[in-house]
Amino acid sequence: MSEKLHIAQNLEDALLFRKENDCIVMAGSSDLMVSAYQGYGALPKFDKPVLLIRNLEELIGVRRNSDGTVEIGACTTSRQIVESPDTPWVLKQAAGRMGAVALRNSATIGGNIANASPKGDTPGPLYLLDAVVNVMSLDGGRRSIPIRDFIIKFRTIDLKNDEIITSVTIPVSDKDMTYWFYHKIGTRAANAISKLTLCACAKVSWGEVKDFRIAATASGPVTNRSRDVENIAIGLKFDELAAKASEISGAFDKVISPRAMPEFRREATRRMIEFFIDKVSKNSYKKFYN
């Protein structure tokens, strides 16, 4: 073990340290410092050296690529995500409701993904948007993994010991869908952890449902999405959707597996899905729903 804390000077420096040390990568520190807390007046405890990457300019910012996708650097804070005009609405909703102001100023999207917490705020929208996680290792090694594969299971991600998450790519923009829905049931209005979050979107074109997606967070060990459930809606005329509402919400109920508060989480999920379907089936003017 060469040092306990390494503050990376640039991405290459970070990747080099990462390659040479079995270490913990820290960005905003809002979760890691809490889990390493040892008590009043004591030093935090990490069982591996810590690599701090939060100031790496290369990993900060939201930008629109030439192919229309949006790329968000791993060390971009929730506040920066909220403030960018290129951030999709549904992700902005999630980032803007994360914790309290101080936390949103430090917590990063890379950290939120890497934690793979079932209650994380950004994974829900990222699953919904089919986001891809980009990782890098020294000497130009790169991989791009869909988020639903990158988060393997509760608190477990597909990241090798020499890799760092560099960014996340989002292929879907607000205009690609006709309707968007996001609702976080927090423990209270401010500084709230999610009890349940549901996001959804639908594309209706020439009266037909062309795409339909639902993602639920805090209702299982990882964010839940099911293409099989979504396929029940896809291809229907929008006015046929209402009749299928309970079938869809019933099928989605089989996908989720909430451990605590199961009745509440199942019931509220069902009611929110049916609310969204009701809006879509009425072909409303309004695009965004909370």
Partner 1 sequence: MADMRNDKARKDAISKASGRETYVGDLSLDGMIYACLVRTSVPRGIIKSITLPPLPDGYYYFDDRNIPENGRNELWMIQKDWKCFAAGSSGYVGETIGILCGPDRTLLYSLRDQIKVEYEEQTPAVSIEDSLALVGGPIIGENNYHCTVELQAGDGDIDEIMKNAYRVVEEKFSTGHQEHMHLETNGMMVNYEDGKYVYYASCQCPFYIRKSVAGIIGATPEDIIVRQMSTGGAFGGKEHFPDVVAGPLILAEYYLKKPIKLIFNREEDTQFSVKRHPSVVKFKTALDRKGNILAMDSIVYYNAGRYLASSYIVIQRGCMHIEGVYKFPVARTRGYSMATNTFPSCAFRGFGAPQTIFAVETHMTHIAEKLGVDPVEYKRRYLIKQGDTTITNGKIVENVRTPELIEKVCKASDYFEKSRKYGFGSGKGIGFSLYNHGGAFTGNGESAIIKAVVKVCKRKDGTVLIKAGQTEMGQGFSSAVCRIAAKTLGIPYEKVIYKYPDTSVVPDSGPTAASRSTMVPGNLVMKACEELKARWDEADELECEAHYEHPEGYPWDQASFQGYAYLGYGWGACVVEVEVDPRTAETKIKGIWSAHDVGNCIDPLIVHGQVNGGIAQGIGWASTELLENKGGYFKQHSMSDYIIPTSMDLPAQEVYYANEPYKWGPYGAKGMGELVFNGSGAAYVDALSRAINRKIDSIPNPTEVIMGHILHSEKLTEDKR
43 versus 152: smaller Cβ distance to partner 1: 43
> Shortest approach of partner 1 to residue 31 CB, angstroms?
11
Spatial separation of the C-alpha atoms in residues 163 and 143, rounded to whole Å:
9
Buried b (16+ CB within 10 A) or exposed e, 18-39: bbebebbbbbbbbbbeeebeee
- Minimum distance of partner 1 from residue 264's CB (angstroms): 4
Residue that the structure tokens 């989720």 belong to = 256
Q: Judged by CB, which is closer to partner 1: 39, or 140?
A: 39
Residue from 274, 278, 131, 280 nearest 205 by CA: 280
> In terms of CB distance, is 37 or 154 closer to partner 1?
37
Q: How far is the CB of 120 from partner 1 (least distance, A)?
A: 14
CB of 214 to partner 1, least distance (A): 15
Of the pair 16, 46, the CB lying nearest partner 1 is at 46
Tokens for 95, please give them: 């980032």
Distance in Å, CB of 243 to partner 1, minimum: 20
Cα separation, 288 vs 178, in Å, equals: 9
How many angstroms separate the Cα of 259 from the Cα of each of 1, 104, 189, 249, 273?
Answer: 39, 28, 23, 19, 20
216, burial (CB in 10 Å: exposed 0-12, middle 13-18, buried 19+): buried
Nearer to partner 1, 154 or 228 (CB): 154
Nearer to partner 1, 136 or 272 (CB): 272
Comparing CA positions, the residue from 190, 251, 185 lying closest to residue 218 is 185
Whole-angstrom distance, CA of residue 170 vs CA of residue 129: 6
Q: Where along the sequence are the contacts to partner 1 (CB under 8 A)? A: 37-43, 45, 183, 185, 187-191, 193, 195-196, 261, 263-265, 267-268, 271-272, 275
Nearest distance in Å: CB 87, partner 1 = 23
**Closest distance between partner 1 and the C-beta of residue 37, in Å?**
8
- If you write DSSP's letter for every residue of 136-154 in order, what string do you get? EETTTEEEEEEHHHHEEET
Residue (27 or 273) nearer to partner 1, CB: 273
